[in-house]
Amino acid sequence: MIQRWPTSREEKWKYTSLGALSQKTFAPSAPVALDFYPHDWGISFVFVNGFFNADLSDLHLLPKEVVALSLSQALKTHADLICLYGSREFDINQYPFAASNTASLSDGLFLYVPKQCVIESPIHLTFYSTEQNDFMSCPRNIIVADTESEITLIEDYRANFDVTGYFTNAVTELTTKHCAKIHYVKIQDEHRTATHFSHVFVNQSAGSHVDTFFVDKGASLSRSELVVHLSEPDAVCDMKGLVFLEHAGQQVDHQVVADHAAPGCSSRMVYKGVLKTQSTSVFNGKVLVRPIASETVSHQESHYLMLSPHAEVNTQPQLEIYADNVKCTHGATIGSLAQEAYFYLRSRGMDAADASAMLMHAFVSDVLSAVSDPAMREYLLMRIDHVEH
């Protein structure tokens, strides 16, 4: 099913070995009937083992003018829009897993938000894995926000406690037209034995605004590639991420690219991670400023808190600038808990676990506080603190 397995000799895969994974055999995912699934909030699309389940979904808050269909249905009824916004072919050498997703896709969401339509409720896509071990699902989501529209989208990956060894290989394409806004949240909370790979491709038109927020806490091996193409003037992209690794052997790899291909655009990357036990985090943030992209403003930073001497962090900030009159900065830090603050809390009667938890929350608080919607901020806090597996 995977047409090409990258090796650690390739720069983008330098710190992530796929040797053991490439030896495994995965069965195709199959639809599973579930009687009940609890809804968190908002407009809910539920996918079970990669396939849309209408009975578990709740769409009653979705405006009638919005086109929202499972990808399998949209291919039959809106093929013209799919061809316009979701017909990208991926280079197998550059994006081997995105290319494999195209060849093996299971289902997903097609969402088209018409001009000047503002959807007040968040759209929550839940991809739930259950009742099948050692399978691969390949969801594909195509999201289009037309001129001056606005949406909030949560892409959420979870699993039942007794499903093991599966592989999620997802692709999401976000397109914003003139002055449109997409607020995108991705939560990766897969079973601790799972493998999770995802690609998020963003294409922004003039004056559009996209903010992305990635939360990674599950899976044995997780890798996310976020590629943002600021293709027209005055587009803005704000990219944030949080990594929480609690189990030995976990690895999360974030590859983030902001491609400035027009003048007057701005981008910002802020990623933070907290690592316990023998876990590994990789962050490669790249800003590319093309010759035409004068007056670019870009900033990237990554900060990691290591709570074990066996934890490992590999971070690679990159700037490629081919234009004049730009402002681009980057920075990275790796450290441990502030011992003075820790001992102060302990001296005030707080136990070790609570003191560490308070300092960890303080470490990530600035990233969470940037989420403007209070309900979304509280939801993210709840999901970060909750342990499912």
Specify the residue for token string 């003075």: 340
What is the per-residue pLDDT across 127-143, written as a single tens digit (0 to 9) for each? 999 988 999 999 999 99
Range of the domain at 47: 11-340
> Which candidate, 316, 70, 98, places its Cα nearest to that of 201?
98
Strand, helix or coil for residue 268: strand
Specify the residue for token string 């529209």: 149
pLDDT of residue 325: 94
Q: Which two tokens stand for residue 329?
A: 């900065």
**Residue 263 resides in a domain:** yes
Three-state DSSP string of 135-194: EEECCEEEEEECCCCEEEEEEEEEECCCCCCCEEEEEEEEEECCCCEEEEEEEECCCCCC
**Residue 356 resides in a domain:** no
Count: domains in the chain: 1
Residue 274 host element (H or E): strand 266-275
pLDDT of residue 237: 98
Q: Which two tokens stand for residue 216?
A: 């990674």
Specify the residue for token string 């093991």: 164
Q: Evaluate whether 225 touches 255 at the Cβ level (below 8 Å).
A: yes
**What does the chain come to in residues?**
389
Ordered DSSP codes for 46-75:
EEETTEE-GGG-B-TTS-TTSEEEEHHHHH
Task: Read off the pTM.
Answer: 0.95
Residue 19 host element (H or E): helix 19-22
**Residue 161 resides in a domain:** yes
Largest CA distance in the chain: 66
pLDDT of residue 386: 65
Integer Cα distance of 9 and 318 in angstroms: 19
**Residue 141 resides in a domain:** yes
Ordered DSSP codes for 347-381:
HTT--HHHHHHHHHHHHHHHHHHT---HHHHHHHH
Burial of 125 (0-12, 13-18, 19+ CB in 10 A): buried
What is the per-residue pLDDT across 297-310, written as a single tens digit (0 to 9) for each? 999 999 999 988 99
The low-confidence residues of the chain, meaning pLDDT below 70, are 1, 386-389
**Chain CA centroid to CA 228, Å:** 12
**Residue 1 resides in a domain:** no
Ordered DSSP codes for 230-250:
E-STT-EEEEEEEEEE-STT-
Beta bridge partners of 226: 200, 256
Integer Cα distance of 18 and 11 in angstroms: 14
pLDDT of residue 389: 46
**Residue 86 resides in a domain:** yes
**Residue 348 resides in a domain:** no
Integer Cα distance of 21 and 62 in angstroms: 40
pLDDT of residue 343: 79
Q: What b/e string do you get for 91-108 counting C-beta neighbours within 10 Å, with b at 16 or more?
A: eeeebbbbbbbbebbbbb
* Alpha-carbon separation of residue 277 from 17, 67, 208, 251, 315 (angstroms): 19, 45, 41, 11, 19
Q: Which two tokens stand for residue 2?
A: 């995977």
**Residue 91 resides in a domain:** yes
